[in-house]
Chains A and B, each alone.
Chain A
Amino acid sequence: MKILVCISKTPDTTAKIAFVDNNTKFAAEGVQWIINPYDEWYALVRAIELKEQDPSSIIHLVTVGTADAEPIIRKALALGGDEAIRVNLESHDSFTIASQISAIAREGAYDLILTGKETLDYNGASIGGMVAELLDLPFISLATKFDLAGNTATVTREIEGGEEVAEVNLPLVVSCQKGVAEQRIPNMKGIMGARSKPLKVVEPTATEALTSIVNFELPPAKAGVKLVSADQPEELVRLLHEEAKLF
């Protein structure tokens, strides 16, 4: 089986979010980058588990990004995966990124394409669905469980107030979230091995962006917390009821 895992880099959650160039660009200077946690903890780890079940499986990682995404890709390879492909392009347009990934996917004829449910920076949750449509494949979003028996996947996905279980034949695109797998820490052997795994750089195919970012805004500062004395919790309830009109 051939599995493609889509990997994105994202600022560490604790990174300071600020913008430069008239608020048109994220201030990336000094920011610590991590593998997008949904891609790493759920999509990649589940792919690795599937390979452990069936060692003949092949895992490829793909990222769309410039050379500064390479440390992240090496980190992902340290967890597992046989080789990585980097499409040499920086874009914040989901369709542009999905077009690049679908070109790679078409060429590699993968049975399974896994993504995280969204990235922590642009929160689009769009790549998996777009790739599936471009390849005319079924897509299960927000998966919380993924099992495979032969050619048939059983996938549980989140719905409002519960879950839905479906069976789908491969090939298939799945976006993964909590529940699909458990976080793993790379070991020394993995880290050493990652250095010699192939990381192929390919140039992007021509696509036209469907959207562009005009600028960014930071949320207005909170007015500050209105504290109520612990002796008068009734006063808090009154404020929520009468002032904030929440119930």
Chain B
Amino acid sequence: MPVLIYIDQAEGHIKKSSFEAASYGAKIAALTGTTAEAVVLGKLTDDLPSLGNYGITKVHHVADESLNHLDAQQFTRIIAALATQINAGVVVLSNNVNGKAIAPRLSARLKAGLVAGAISLPDTSNGFVVKKGVFSGKAFANINVLTPIKIIALTPNAFSPEKGSGIAEVVAFTPSPEPSRVKLVATNKVKGQVPLSEAELVISGGRGLKGPENWGMIEELAQLLGAATACSRAVADAHWRPHHEHVGQTGGSVSPNMYFAVGISGAIQHLAGVNRSKVIVVINKDPEAPFFKAADYGIVGDAFEVMPKIIAAVRKIKG
């Protein structure tokens, strides 16, 4: 019973979170003594045989241009048909924006238990137990999947892809056609920025920065590091920054390697969106700011004095 990994793409390129899923799925295959196969939908510019570098032995490709944009219903139908055809025991996908649309549908269609937001490899010593984050990052739950087929939606940035060398065999998969009920009318992308949900490093600003005119230092540091920018709700509500940058309980949640917070108090609702970050760095002039309790590194100081020096030091390394 092979492991089947759904590879998500955007504009013809495989998403970083899908390399993570591929590598994670290949690891499960190795642990359970089976093979890892992938399914790719749509026309891609990326090279598919090189998915072998992540442990995939076979890629099932539906090279149909109309599948270049998500229609969760269609995608589910196709992935489920393939999973049944190859008798997959585990289906892995990233719990990214598309994964969150496909994974639950797939679970209901295949009557296969789903772990949404997995952060660990399965423990098969007693059942099939996978760890996931619950209570908005404040705890973890170990979930036992009770069904013969298991579906795992892996939290982005929770598993580092391991790149080896290998060449995957690419075979065409031809599902029975069915008209889509979703008509795409527009795609609006913020050009030239690292998408927040995919970012490994995030630089974030709060109300302590006083006004939108002071965001130059956030953007400069982000650019030097190839990081995404984020903000607190107070900042988005004041329209200093666009709403998609708002993180926290009511905004987006992120789990980057580093969350670098400048002039953010660290209210519990803000932490709910960022506490899964691996390292938290806090710059705040108030030593009592609650954020320091959740932080790994910090400076108690005025952002307007500290940040230029930080930028200069980073420039020395990166410049």
Chain A interface (Cβ within 8 Å of chain B)? 11, 13-14, 17, 19, 37-38, 41, 94-95, 98, 120-130, 132-134, 136-142, 154, 157-169, 178-179, 209-219, 222-223, 225-230, 233-234, 236-241, 244, 246-247
Contact = CB atoms under 8 A, between A and B. Distances in A.
B114 A226 contact: no
Interface string B264-298: 00001100100000010110000000001111111
The secondary-structure label for the interface of chain B is mixed
* CB-based closest 9 A-B pairs: A230-B301, A129-B104, A161-B195, A210-B113, A162-B189, A237-B313, A133-B108, A126-B104, A141-B101
Given A141-B72, A166-B182, 13 more contacts: A94-B114, A121-B134, A122-B134, A126-B103, A133-B104, A133-B107, A140-B72, A141-B97, A142-B101, A178-B246, A210-B112, A211-B113, A236-B281
B185 to A, nearest CB: 5
Given A95-B108, A133-B104, A210-B114, A138 B295 contact: no
Nearest to B256: A246
Nearest to B74: A138
9 contacts: A123-B133, A132-B72, A163-B188, A164-B69, A164-B70, A167-B182, A219-B139, A219-B140, A227-B297
Nearest to A129: B104
Contacts of A209: 146
Contacts of B113: 95, 210-211
Interface string B106-132: 111101111111000000000101011
Contacts of B136: 13, 120-121, 123
B183 A240 contact: no
B127 to A, nearest CB: 8
A167 B69 CA distance: 13
A168 B182 contact: yes
Contacts of A127: 104
A246 B257 contact: yes
B225 A126 contact: no
A103 to B, nearest CB: 13
A17 B141 CA distance: 12
Nearest to A226: B297
Nearest to B193: A161
Interface in B178-202: 181-190, 193-198, 201
B258 interface: yes
A129 B145 contact: no
A157 B297 contact: no
Contact of B184 (A94, A166, A212, A216): A166
Contacts of A37: 249-250
B190 A142 contact: no
Nearest to A159: B97
A223 B301 CA distance: 21
Contacts, number: 279
A247 B69 contact: no
Interface of B: 10, 15, 69-73, 76, 95-98, 100-109, 111-117, 127, 129, 131-136, 138-147, 181-190, 193-198, 201, 225, 243-244, 246, 249-251, 257-258, 268-269, 272, 279, 281-282, 292-302, 305-307, 309-310, 312-314, 317-318
The secondary-structure label for the interface of chain A is mixed
Given A168-B183, A211-B114, A216 B141 contact: yes
A193 B106 CA distance: 41
Contacts of A128: 104
Given A162-B190, A164-B69, A244-B279, A126 B135 contact: no
B139 A218 contact: yes
Nearest to A127: B104
A167 B281 contact: no
B104 A228 contact: no
B299 A227 contact: yes
A120 B272 contact: yes
A214 B128 CA distance: 10
A211 B144 contact: yes
B104 A94 contact: yes
B279 to A, nearest CB: 5
A246 to B, nearest CB: 5
Contacts of A120: 135-136, 249, 272
B116 A126 contact: yes
Contacts of B185: 154, 165-167
A129 B79 CA distance: 15
A238 B317 CA distance: 9
Nearest to A223: B296
Given A166-B184, A211-B113, A246-B258, A178 B243 contact: yes
B181 A138 contact: yes
A90 to B, nearest CB: 16
A157 B182 CA distance: 12
Contact of A132 (B105, B142, B186): B105
Nearest to B309: A233
A120 B181 CA distance: 31
Contacts of B243: 178-179
B251 A178 contact: yes
Contact of B139 (A19, A136, A223, A236): A19
